[in-house]
C-alpha cells in the first residue's frame, strides 16, 4: 500500500513511524507548507517531499493519505484526498462543523473510500481493557462515566491562533467525548457545558466542563483543560461495581491485558491499513467523527444560551432532513 502524509508536525511524525512499522505499507510522499522539513522526512525513507499538498495528491500514485495538519485545514484536505481516490485517516476533529463533517461522510461513501478519524484513545491498552470488561458485564449496567484530562498547551504555534483552532473542546475534549460514547455504547442526547478562556486567554476556550446525558439513560462528566500539568483519570460506575483507570491500569486489577504500554498510534494505523486491505469498516469512521463534533457544538451552544442543549437540535440545524435519521438515534 502506497501512503502519503499531509502535515509535518508532531502528529505527522507519529503517523510516519506507525506506517513504517505496518506490514505492506510504504510512505511514498509527505507534504508540508514549505521546504523547511524536507530533509527530516526524506532522511526517514520517504521518496518525495512536497511544499504543496495538491502536488502530493495530483501525482495520482497513492492508495491512502493521512491528514495531520492544523484543524482548520482538515475538511478541505480530506475532501481533496477523497476526490483524488485516496482512503483517508484524518486527525481529529474531522471538520470545523457538523455540516462539513456530513459532507465528508457523503463524499467518502460516494467514492467508496474508507474515512477514519484519529480517535487514538480507543487504542490505548488500558481503555480497550476497560471497554472489554464493560461489555462482559463485569459491573452490570453502566450508569455513570467520568473522564478528566488536563495538559500544558501543545507547543505548535497554531494552537495559539484562534483562526486555526476552536480551542480545547474540538482539540482535547472531543477525545473524551468519543471515549465516553464508545464505553457506554450509546449516543449523547443532551449536553450542558461551561467553556472558559481564563487560563491562557487565547481567544478560544482553554477549559471545557461537560455534563452528558446519554440516550440509554447514563450520565457522563467530562473535563478537559489546557494550561496545567499533565494529568488524567477516568472511570465507569455500574449497577454492580466500579472500574477506574489509575496510572494506566484498570482497577480492580484482574487481567494482565489491562497493563499500560503498547503503541496506540501504531495500533490505530494498523487498523486503518487492515480495514482498507480487508474492506472492513474503521474503528472510528466519519459518522463517529461527526457525532463527536455534534456534542462539541452542543456544548458551545449550551455555553452561549446558558441551558442544556439536545444534540438532536444541533443535528437538525446542521443537516439536511434526508441525512438526519442516520445520526439522530
Q: Which of 190, 293, 272, 183 is nearest to 235 (CA)?
A: 183
pLDDT for the residue numbered 34: 78
pLDDT tens-digit profile of 10-59?
999 999 999 999 999 999 999 998 788 889 899 999 999 999 999 999 99
SS3 of residue 238 by DSSP: strand
pLDDT for the residue numbered 201: 92
pLDDT for the residue numbered 252: 63
d(CA 18, CA 31): 17
Residue limits of CATH 3.40.50.720 in the chain: 2-120
Q: In the chain, what percentage of residues exceed pLDDT 90?
A: 88
* Topology of domain 2-120, CATH: Rossmann fold (3.40.50)
Please return the burial class of 158, using the count of CB atoms within 10 Å of its CB with bins 0-12, 13-18 and 19+.
Answer: middle
d(CA 82, CA 108): 6
pLDDT tens-digit profile of 84-118?
999 999 999 999 999 999 999 999 999 999 999 99
Q: Cis peptide before 252, with omega less than 30 degrees from 0?
A: yes
The sign one gets for the Cα dihedral 11, 260, 148, 146 is positive
Evaluate if residue 253 carries a pLDDT over 70. Answer: no
pLDDT for the residue numbered 249: 77
- Among 62-66, 88-92, 179-183, 227-231, whose mean pLDDT is lowest? 227-231
How big is the chain by its Cα radius of gyration, in Å?
Answer: 19
Residue limits of CATH 3.30.360.10 in the chain: 121-262+286-314
C-beta of residue 56 within 8 angstroms of C-beta of residue 7: no
Question: Over the chain, what is the mean pLDDT?
Answer: 94
pLDDT tens-digit profile of 144-163?
999 999 999 999 999 999 99
CATH tag, 121-262+286-314 = 3.30.360.10
Evaluate if residue 257 carries a pLDDT over 90. Answer: no
The mean per-residue pLDDT over the stretch 282-299 comes to 96
Evaluate if residue 255 carries a pLDDT over 80. Answer: no
SS3 of residue 315 by DSSP: helix
Q: Cis peptide before 93, with omega less than 30 degrees from 0?
A: yes
pLDDT for the residue numbered 145: 98
pLDDT for the residue numbered 260: 52
d(CA 251, CA 22): 32
Q: What is the DSSP letter of 212?
A: E
Amino acid at each position: 500500500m502506497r501512503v502519503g502524509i499531509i502535515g509535518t508536525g508532531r502528529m505527522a511524525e507519529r503517523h510516519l513511524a506507525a506506517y513504517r512499522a505496518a506490514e505492506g505499507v510504504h510512505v511514498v510522499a509527505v507534504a508540508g507548507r514549505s521546504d523547511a522539513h524536507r530533509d527530516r522526512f526524506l532522511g526517514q525513507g520517504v521518496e518525495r517531499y512536497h511544499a504543496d499538498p495538491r502536488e502530493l495528491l495530483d501525482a495520482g500514485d497513492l492508495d491512502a493519505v493521512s491528514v495531520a495538519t492544523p484543524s482548520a485545514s482538515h475538511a478541505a484536505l480530506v475532501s481533496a484526498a477523497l476526490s483524488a481516490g485516496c482512503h483517508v485517516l484524518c486527525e481529529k476533529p474531522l471538520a470545523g462543523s457538523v455540516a462539513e463533517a456530513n459532507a465528508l461522510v457523503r463524499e467518502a461513501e460516494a467514492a467508496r473510500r474508507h474515512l477514519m478519524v484519529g480517535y487514538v484513545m480507543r487504542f490505548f491498552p488500558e481503555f480497550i481493557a476497560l471497554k472489554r470488561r464493560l461489555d462482559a458485564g463485569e459491573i452490570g449496567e453502566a450508569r455513570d462515566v467520568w473522564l478528566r484530562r488536563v495538559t500544558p498547551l501543545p507547543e505548535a504555534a497554531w494552537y495559539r491562533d484562534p483562526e486555526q483552532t476552536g480551542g480545547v473542546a474540538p482539540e482535547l475534549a472531543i477525545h473524551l467525548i468519543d471515549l465516553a460514547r464508545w464505553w457506554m455504547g450509546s449516543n449523547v442526547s443532551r449536553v450542558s457545558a461551561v467553556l472558559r478562556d481564563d487560563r491562557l486567554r487565547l481567544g478560544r476556550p482553554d477549559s471545557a466542563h461537560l455534563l452528558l446525558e446519554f440516550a440509554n439513560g447514563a450520565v457522563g462528566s467530562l473535563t478537559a483543560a489546557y494550561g496545567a500539568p499533565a494529568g488524567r483519570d477516568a472511570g465507569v460506575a455500574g449497577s454492580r461495581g466500579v472500574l477506574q483507570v489509575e496510572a494506566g491500569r484498570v482497577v480492580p486489577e484482574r487481567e494482565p491485558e489491562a497493563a499500560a504500554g503498547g503503541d496506540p498510534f501504531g495500533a490505530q494505523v494498523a487498523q486503518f491499513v487492515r480495514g482498507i486491505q480487508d474492506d472492513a469498516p474503521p474503528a472510528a469512521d466519519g459518522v463517529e467523527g461527526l457525532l463527536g463534533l455534534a456534542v462539541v457544538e452542543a456544548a458551545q451552544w449550551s455555553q452561549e444560551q446558558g441551558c442544556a442543549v439536545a444534540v438532536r437540535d444541533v443535528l437538525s440545524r446542521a443537516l439536511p432532513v434526508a441525512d438526519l435519521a442516520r445520526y439522530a438515534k
